[in-house]
Amino acid sequence: MPAQALFEYPEIDFDAPMVDQAGIGEINPHRGPMVQLDGIGWWSDGRGVGFRNIRSDEFWVDGHIPGRPLLPGVLMIEAAAQLSSYVQQMCHPELQESFLGFTRCDDCAFRGQVVPGDRLIFLAAMEKQNRRRFVSKCQGFVGDALVFEAKITGMAF
């Protein structure tokens, strides 16, 4: 039985996302290999769905388990934080000139492997948010398989 997603979301065409990588870059400051999202398929009312297509030419592939490349968990956490930051800033447009820093990760669990060729879909749902701080429950799925979950906290500086 597939894991229960945090929320239901509309059918998403990941080849034509609501926000592409360039659009994310207008809000999030990450550049180069630290960009961890390829797009945001949907967001609304403190919730969002982002995705990352895992490629075989990424910087970590040769060294993170040679012969059996596995996406490092820390990059899953970073991608979830980037999605959460984007959603927070869209809920509070006045923060778009602020830097949102990732301050905490709780209740983190990795439940499956993510390898080149996979599409990792992230869900983020704000549990608490105000202008200065947010707490977001996040999940990562490959197909119907829940591979990652965590609670991400961030703050505007």
From 30, 64, 119, 133, the catalytic residue = 64
d(CA 156, CA 154): 7
Q: Which of 121, 118, 119 is nearest to 141 (CA)?
A: 121
Place of tokens 């995705």: 51
Assign 3-state DSSP to the chain and report helix, strand, coil percentages, each to 5: 20, 40, 40
Whether 64 is catalytic is yes
Q: Would you call 12 helix, strand, or coil by DSSP?
A: coil
In the numeric block, which tokens belong to residue 41? 């398929």
Place of tokens 């923060």: 95
Name the residues annotated as catalytic: 64
